[in-house]
Each structure stands twice: as structure tokens, then as C-alpha cells.
Amino acid sequence: MLRRLVAATALGSAIALLFVSTTTAQTNYKVPRLADGHPDFQGFWNNTTYTPLERPKGIDREFFTREEVVEQMKRAAVDEAEQTTPGTVADVHYDFTQFGLDRSQAPLSVNLRTSLIVDPPDGHFPPMTDEGKRLNAARAEARKRAGAITDAAQNQPLSVRCILMDRDGPPMLAGAYNNNYQIVQAPDTVMILVEMLHSPRIIPTNGRPALPASIRQIEGNSRGRWDGDTLVIETTNFTDMFMFAFQGASADMKLTERFTRVSDDTLTYRFTVNDPKVWTRPWTAEVPWKKGVGPIFEHACHEGNYSLTNLLRGAREDEKRAREKKPASN
């Protein structure tokens, strides 16, 4: 335990240093370029953050002070190091710090923002439309009708089923761990390999027309273009086949992601969700991606999904025991 606290304190200091280096903006930064003249974003990146998507209740500022952020991150690092009790089953299975999976050990995307949402300026989702409310009420109703979350595999979130990490979207947001990405740029194609679920996003940048509206995909259909030195990716053709959609969006969501390299070790990732069916106005979030460490290993989630099997089996076993315990009522 002591060792972990020491480690966490050391991490706290490392965070402070990292923080200073990220805020010393490279104002005269000259972005490296590829043979075709476009900025070079290639390499391994990590978008781990402690900043919530929506501004927490009780905070009405856009930014924290530097001292506040350093203090928060130190505290978070200590909390993560203490999340399990050594020698317990939980410790064996879920001690992220042991495997370097906790956020404090990742190349952190530090920023002073109180929320990733930058627009609306209050850091909150815009109000939902009536249609959006109806759509999400219908989804909630469908979930309820489907029964308890342990009744069937299909009642579980997509991440537990190894279909899509809800956070990876697109848009790509950080989860608790494995927030690693590799970008490769070939002429006419940018590929972003998302570590979680070995999800390959292949983005043509050659003006290829979008798919017909009748083709729907879980991760949508992405098209890229360059706006000066910014890579702009527009994604449409999302599916409505799941009960768990990105933050309540509809299948008609149009997502615009923008990547800009602002320093040697930072990409600014900014995305706008435009879904007039669900929200009264578009909303935008921004998070820095830090230079990460490669390589990315194969994340064969579905192939090793013992947890879903065990979770369902456990629920059936509980029901069986409950039936056996209960005295016959008739």
C-alpha cells in the first residue's frame, strides 16, 4: 500500500511537470509535412483525460486555475491507486494501476477546461427537441420491455458485448484505460486504428461520395478533407439498430471531427454533433490528444469475452437457487 502511495505521489509530481510542458504553447510551431504537403499526424496518440464531457453541477466557470487542476489530478492519482484492497479478488482482477491501465499513468491530455463541451458555452448539452425526447423515451421503453440487463446478451451495453466501445463512437472519447490510437496517412486515405476492439477507421480524403442513405453502419461512414492544415472528417449513415446510442443521438446525426496539430506532442481534437432531430442546436467538444507510445496490440475482445458468458450464467444460477430456496407456493 505504502509503495502505491509513494508511486501516486511521484505521479502527482510528474503530472505537474507534464502540465507545465503542455501549457508552454509552441507558438511558432511548424507542423511537419508529408510529401503531398499535408500536415503529418502519424504516430501513436492518447486522449486520456479527467475532464468530464459535461460541466459538473455547481461549476459556472469555463476554466479551472492551474493550481486547482494540479491538485485534482494528484488527488485522482491517489484515488486510482487506492481503488482496490491488496490481496482481495477485486484487486487481482481490477487493479488498473498494476497493469498501467489507470489514467494517471497514461500520457495525459491535460487542460484547464471544466468540461469537454465548449459550445454551448455553459458546457452543457443543448436542450433536446420534443422529437429527441420522444425518441429517447421510446428507447428507454424498449430497454425496459427487454427485461433486466442480465436477461440476455442483447440487453447489455455495446461495450460489454464487444461491438462498440460506447465512448469510441465516433466521436472518439477516452474511457478509463487503453485510450490509444494510431494514425497512418497514405495518399487519399487516413486510417485511425482505435486500440479498443481493434477498430479501424478508414477515411478517404479524395472526395469520394458518401454512401447512399440506405446503408447504415454502427460506426457510420466517414469522409475526410483538408481545411488548410486541419483534417476534417464528416461522418453520417449511423445506425439506429441499438438501444444505446451516443448520448441519445439519432441515426441521422452528422458528426464533424477536426484534427489540428498544435505542437510536437499534441493534436487538438474537436468535434461537432449536428442532429436537429434530437438537439435544438449543434454542440461541440474539444479534447487534446497527447503523443502516446506504440505499438498497439491486438484487442480481441469478442474472442475472449468470458465475462459476458459468466455474467449471464451467474444470473441464471442465481435464479435457479432462488427457485430452489423458495417453498412451493401451491
Partner 1 sequence: MKHWVGRACIVAVSAIAVLSLAAPPAYGQARPYRAPRTADGKPNLSGVYQAISEAYWDIEPHSAAPGQVRELGASNAVPGGLGITDGPLPYKPEALAKKRENFAKRITLDPEIKCYLPGTPRGMYMPYPFQIIQTPAYIMIVSSYARAVRTIYMTDQKEAPADSWMGWSNGHWEGETLVIDTTGFNDQSWFDRAGNFHSDQLHVVERITAADADHLSYEATIEDPQTFTRPWKIALPIYRRVEKNAQLLEFNCVPFVEDLIYGSLRKPSSN
| Near partner 1 by CB under 8 A: residue from 175, 204, 276, 282 | 204
Site string for partner 1, 240-269 (x = CB under 8 A): -x----------------------------
CB of 28 to partner 1, least distance (A): 27
Asked whether position 209 contacts partner 1 by CB under 8 A, the answer is yes
Question: Segment 123-142, which members bind partner 1 (CB under 8 A)?
Answer: none
Q: How many residues bind partner 1 (CB under 8 A)?
A: 54
Instruction: State the CB neighbour count (10 A cutoff) for residue 148.
Output: 9
Q: Which residues contact 307 (CB under 8 A, 6 or more apart)?
A: 160
20, 176, 202, 293: residue in contact with partner 1 (rule CB under 8 A): 202
Q: What is the DSSP string of 73-87?
A: HHHHHHHHHTSS-TT
Distance CA 167, CA 171 (A): 7
Residue 256 is placed in which grid cell?
A: 464533424
What proportions of the chain, in percent to the nearest 5, are helix, strand and coil?
30, 25, 45
Interface with partner 1, residue 307, by CB under 8 A: no
Q: What is the DSSP letter of 194?
A: E
d(CA 156, CA 141) in angstroms, rounded, equals 15
Q: Minimal distance in Å, beta carbon 194 to partner 1? A: 10
Which residues of the chain form beta strands (DSSP E)?
43-46, 117-119, 180-186, 189-194, 199-204, 221-227, 230-236, 254-263, 266-274, 283-291
Q: Of the two residues 97 and 182, which places its CB atom closer to partner 1 in the complex?
A: 182
Residue of the chain from 213, 218, 307, 321 that contacts partner 1 (CB under 8 A): 218
**Does 4 sit near partner 1 (CB under 8 A)?**
no
Contacts of residue 159, Cβ cutoff 8 Å, sequence gap at least 6: 165, 166, 167
Does the footprint of partner 1 cover residue 178 (CB under 8 A)? no
Among 1, 17, 148, 328, binds partner 1 (CB under 8 A): 148
Residues forming contacts to partner 1 in the complex (CB under 8 A) are 34-36, 42, 145-148, 150-154, 161-164, 182, 184-187, 189, 191, 193, 197-200, 202, 204, 208-209, 211, 215, 217-219, 241, 294-298, 300, 302-303, 308-309, 312-313, 315-316, 319
